[in-house]
Amino acid sequence: MANSTKKKPYLRMTALGILSLVSYYMLLTNQNLVTEYFIKGGIYAALPIITALYFSFVHGTFASDLLSIMGLSAKGSSH
């Protein structure tokens, strides 16, 4: 791990981290609007599914980069 030659994804982590933070900020500052539309059912059922997928890609990739920058990667993967 220490002798890893792989470039660490600092830029991507920062960009996705900011995007994730802004997304969470928007969610928490618009709670009434969000909860109003997300429980309508029918075609609106796509909203929670798409939002969960969006957060899992943005925040999930950010988390992955964060762990690798912290030096936490799978055994043997850094070689």
Partner 1 sequence: MKKWIVSILAVIFVMMALAPAAFAESAPPSNAKKGDFTSVDPATHTAVFQPVDSDQPITLKLADSIKAEDVQLNDRVLVSMSDVNGEQVASEISTMFIGLTLDKLIALLLVGLVGGLLSGFIGSGGAFVLTPSMMALGAPGAVAVASNMCHKFPKAMVGTYKRFKYGQVDVKLGLVMGVSSIVGVELGIRVQEKILDTWGSTGSDLYVSFVFVIILVVVGAIILRDALTGSKTVNADVMPKLALAMQKIKIPPMMNFKKAGVVLSAWVTVPIGFATGLLAATIAVGGFIGVPGMIYVVGASAMVASATELLIAFVMGMWGSVEWALAGLIDIRMTLLILATSLIGVQLGALGTTYVKDHTIKLVMASVMLIVAVSRGVKVPVYLSKLGAIDINTGTADILNALSFWTLIAALAAAGFIIASAMIKGIARAKVEEKEAAIAEGA
User: Residue numbers of the site for partner 1 (CB under 8 A)?
Assistant: 1-3, 24, 27-28, 31, 34-35, 38-42, 44-49, 51-53, 55-56, 59-60, 63-64, 66-67, 72-77
* Cβ 54 to partner 1 shortest distance, Å: 9
Shortest CA distance to 57 belongs to which of 20, 7, 32, 15? 20
What is the rounded distance in angstroms from the CA atom of residue 27 to the CA atom of residue 21? 10
* Cβ 76 to partner 1 shortest distance, Å: 7
The token pair at 51 is: 């939002």
Which of 7, 42 has the CB closer to partner 1?
42
* Cβ 78 to partner 1 shortest distance, Å: 9
What is the rounded distance in angstroms from the CA atom of residue 31 to the CA atom of residue 60? 22
Q: Which residue has the tokens 């969000």?
A: 34
